[in-house]
Amino acid sequence: MDKTIDIVLVVVAAVVCLAFTGLMPWAELGMNGAYDNWPLWLRWANENLFLPLPNYNQVAGMGASWTEYLKKSGAESRYGDYAYSLVMGVAMVAAAIGIAAIGREEAEEKTILPVKK
């Protein structure tokens, strides 16, 4: 596999991991994405550096249908734990695909015939 694709995969995986590492505890703390809940440094960056940040208000209710599903399935509490389970599961699938894709080239083995004395 081309090394460039390897590097792209690693960078994408790192960004996704960092994003979720930040977002999951953020959600656990009950922050719903409203602008006032943003950390000061991010608000400052948004106002002064004009970063193209998305509008988090639009995704604030995204988890409602998932919570509804969990309730229907019998879960009674700690729905956030199940969100961790889902995200970790997806992350591990991505990790497995990434490792298999990068390690594919090493799967080709060379056969060396022994020479008897």
Partner 1 sequence: MYTSIPKGLTDFALAIEKGTNAVISNRYNPFYYHGALPQFYLWVLFLSGLLLFAYYIPTIDNAYFSANLVNAWTSVDYITDKLPMGAVIRGIHRYAGDAMVITIVLHALRVWVTDRYRQYRWIQWVTGIMLLLMVLFVGQTGYYLVWDERSLVLTRMTVSAFDALPIIGPGLKAWFLNGTAITNLTLSNFPFIHIGLSFTLLFGLWMHYVRMTRPVIAPPPAINYMLLAVLLLVVFAYPITSGKMADINSAPTSFDIDWFFLFPYWLMAHVDLVTYWVLMIGATIGLTIVPLPNLYKAANPIEPAEVVLTKCVGCSLCSFDCPYQAIEMVPAPAGSRFKLLATVKPYRCSACGVCVGACAFDAIDLPNLLDTDVTAQIRALAEAKPGA
How does 95-106 read in b/e, with b if 16+ C-beta sit within 10 Å? eeeeeeeeeeee
- Selected from 15, 18, 34, 95, the binder of partner 1 by CB under 8 A is 95
The yes or no reply on residue 92 touching partner 1 (CB under 8 A) is yes
Contact assessment for residue 83 and residue 25, using Cβ atoms and an 8 Å cutoff: no
The yes or no reply on residue 113 touching partner 1 (CB under 8 A) is yes
**Distances from the Cα of 46 to the Cαs of 25, 51, 79, in angstroms?**
21, 5, 31
Q: Considering the complex, state which of residue 31 and residue 91 has its C-beta at the smaller distance from partner 1.
A: 91
Instruction: Give contact residues for partner 1 (rule: CB under 8 A).
Output: 70, 73-78, 81-86, 88-93, 95-97, 99-100, 103-104, 106-108, 110-111, 113-114, 116-117
